[in-house]
Structure 1
Amino acid sequence: MAYLPISTPGEVGGPDGYSYGALVLMTDAADAAALERILRVIRFTGWIAPASSGTQVVIGDPGAGVVAAERRGIVEVAALVAAKLECAVLAVRVRRDRQLGLVAWRGAEEVGRYDSDPSAEPGADDDIGTEPVGVAAAPEFAALAGVPEAGEKLTEILDEELERDSVSESERLRVILRLLSLPDWIVAASSLPRDIPTGPRAAELVRLRAGMRGAQGVWRNPAVRRLRRRWTPPPIIADPPRESGQGMEGIEPWMF
């Protein structure tokens, strides 16, 4: 499949570009107060977008880093929200435009997990495989979004190996979001705290810092942010496949 380049300035950073993370609630009837209460309890840092067209988006800050208490990244936050609100949730995480992670839940049940390149995780061992893991979850992702007929096409997209010199994971993600009829402005989430190109204005989003709005959050956030920068969230795939020894099996170290 050929991907069209995204040319809007500031949206993505190219083959070694931006990182961002978001969770998409597959409902616009979620209790806004309950959602914010959950995020406040876990001292979440990020934004809550207004509900629109049957979905509600929450964006993490920093997107691919630790965004909540107990070293939670956007994926772990999504799991908690799905269980507490008993709704369908899709977590999206892009790291430096070189790794795409997708994880989905129906309530407390995880239904699919995908990683485009497990070797791109921070601190990954040299022998971690680079091929996508979780492509078989594509039909579950499509069904969760209410478009089960898109499962076959989504499988092709998730299974494709990208040309890293010319195509970013944000480009793949935009195609996926459009296929699933989900908000494709998520690929421009890294533009926050400025307005999001093609998305909601920054003023329309609820800003949380360490779970708090306004001055309280501004006061608490610097110390929390400094601490969280030292950590990385759990990998998308906890035990990814490893590459073979590339013909080196059976050779003892002393032979070198």
Structure 2
Amino acid sequence: MPPPQSVSHDDAPGEAGESYGAALVRGDHAALPAVIDSLRTIRFSGWIAPPAEGWIVVLGDPGDGVVAAGKRGIVEVAALLAESSGSPGVAVRVRRDRQLAIVAWRGAEEIGRYCSDPSREPGADGDILSEPYGAERAEGFAELLDRPDAAEDLAAVLEEELDIESIFESERLAQVLGLLGLPRWLVAAGALPHDIPTGPRAVDLIRLRGGAVGMAGRARGVAIHRMRRRADPPPILADPPRSHGAGIDPWLF
């Protein structure tokens, strides 16, 4: 069944679907204060879930847009948290259920990047290819998360070209999360600010707006949201794969 429709942060017409993003960093309740301090420093907007199963999960608002100072998206936030904690970190981002992005780090070291459809980045031109990119990083992802036996199955999931008319990227992400042992409720994060089905209740989440909580956050968040919604975060791939001109391989001549 298709997911409930929602509109992405840039409100482009014609493509409704779930958009959400999460930064995950290894940690427990003892590590939570440091994560909160880091998020306050960069004036992060979003939610922090209670640590569970060895992970601290941070959810961006909006999930696919700019969520922190310096035009940071959820991927850049995850990189900062992994580096500051020295722990494994993962970013997952779904854009309108038509694009899945995964990036992973071991502390400050980036392990790899995956994008199911680079052509769906905001502002992408017509030469950018739509095929999944980075499926070969599956082994690195699996080893980072202590699931080496899942590498082959993970690669098969990541390299598949989905029929976007009948299958959504949230379905691919659900398989990825299961293989890597990550919280599967992330595929329902689009339900925020309401309770997340199979996940934490909204009342149990720490809500930050521009790095602040409570009334101070509400006041700050309005102005910050207006500014951030006009900008896009950096693309997942700085140099995405491109076709050769009109699609004709020059080596054929």
With structure 1 as the length reference, what TM-score do the two structures score? 0.90
In structure 2, the partner of 1:201 is 201
| Cα distance in structure 2, aligned partners of 1:55 and 1:21 | 15
| Cα distance in structure 2, aligned partners of 1:149 and 1:64 | 31
| Cα distance in structure 2, aligned partners of 1:23 and 1:125 | 28
- Once the two structures are superposed, the pairs formed by residues 28-177 of structure 1 within 5 Å of their partners are 28=28, 31-177=31-177
Describe the SS at the equivalent of 2:36: helix
In structure 2, the partner of 1:240 is 240
Describe the SS at the equivalent of 1:18: coil
Deviation at residue 248 of structure 1 after TM alignment: 9.0
In structure 1, the partner of 2:226 is 226
User: What residue identity is the alignment partner of 2:47?
Assistant: W
Describe the SS at the equivalent of 1:111: strand
Describe the SS at the equivalent of 1:24: strand
Describe the SS at the equivalent of 1:23: strand
Structure 2: which 5+ runs fail to align? 8-14
Do the aligned partners of 2:5 and 2:17 also contact (CA within 8 Å) in 1?
no
User: What residue identity is the alignment partner of 1:38?
Assistant: S
Describe the SS at the equivalent of 1:242: coil
Do the aligned partners of 1:30 and 1:85 also contact (CA within 8 Å) in 2?
no
Do the aligned partners of 2:6 and 2:16 also contact (CA within 8 Å) in 1?
no
User: What residue identity is the alignment partner of 1:98?
Assistant: R
Structure 1, residues 107-137: CA drift from partner, whole Å, max 9, x if none?
Answer: 1000010011000001101110011111111
| Cα distance in structure 2, aligned partners of 1:107 and 1:25 | 9
In structure 1, the partner of 2:180 is 180
Percent identity over the alignment is: 56
In structure 2, the partner of 1:253 is none
| Cα distance in structure 1, aligned partners of 2:5 and 2:31 | 30
In structure 1, the partner of 2:10 is none
Deviation at residue 246 of structure 1 after TM alignment: 2.0
In structure 2, the partner of 1:252 is none
Structure 1, residues 125-184: CA drift from partner, whole Å, max 9, x if none?
Answer: 111001111111101111122211101100000000001100000010011101111111
Deviation at residue 195 of structure 1 after TM alignment: 0.3
Relative to structure 1, the CA distance from residue 195 to residue 165 in structure 2 (aligned partners, 3 Å threshold; closer, same or farther) is: same
Please say which of residues 65-74 and 26-35 is displaced more in the overlay.
Answer: 26-35
| Cα distance in structure 2, aligned partners of 1:230 and 1:212 | 21
Do the aligned partners of 1:16 and 1:98 also contact (CA within 8 Å) in 2?
no
User: What residue identity is the alignment partner of 1:116?
Assistant: S
Do the aligned partners of 2:4 and 2:17 also contact (CA within 8 Å) in 1?
no
| Cα distance in structure 2, aligned partners of 1:208 and 1:91 | 19
Describe the SS at the equivalent of 1:58: strand
User: What residue identity is the alignment partner of 2:41?
Assistant: V
Deviation at residue 230 of structure 1 after TM alignment: 0.5
| Cα distance in structure 2, aligned partners of 1:112 and 1:11 | 30
Instruction: Tell me the C-alpha RMSD between the 2 structures.
Output: 1.7
Do the aligned partners of 1:49 and 1:56 also contact (CA within 8 Å) in 2?
yes
Describe the SS at the equivalent of 2:23: strand
Do the aligned partners of 2:4 and 2:18 also contact (CA within 8 Å) in 1?
no
| Cα distance in structure 1, aligned partners of 2:185 and 2:235 | 24
